[in-house]
Structure 1
Amino acid sequence: MPEEPRRPDPKLLELLVCPLTKAPLRYDRDANELISEQAGLAYPIRDGIPIMLASEARTLG
Structure 2
Amino acid sequence: MDPKLLEILVCPICKGPLEHRRAEQELVCTRDKLAFPIRDGIPVMLESEARNLDDASA
TM-score (norm 1): 0.85
Q: How does 1:5-16 map to 2 (within 5 A)?
A: 8-16=1-9
Which residue identity is paired with 1:29? R
Q: For each residue in 1:3-49, what CA deviation from the matched residue of structure 2 results, as whole angstroms up to 9, or x when unmatched?
A: xxxxx211101100000000000000110100000010000000000
Q: Give the one of 19, 22, 46 matched to 1:26.
A: 19
Q: TM-score, normalised by structure 2?
A: 0.90
Aligned to 2:29: 36
Q: How many matched pairs?
A: 54
SS class of match (2:28)? strand
- TM superposition outliers: structure 1 runs of 4+ over 4 Å: none
Higher Cα Rg, which structure: 1
Identify the residue that residue 5 of structure 1 maps to in structure 2: none
- State the identity %: 59
Q: CA RMSD in A?
A: 0.6
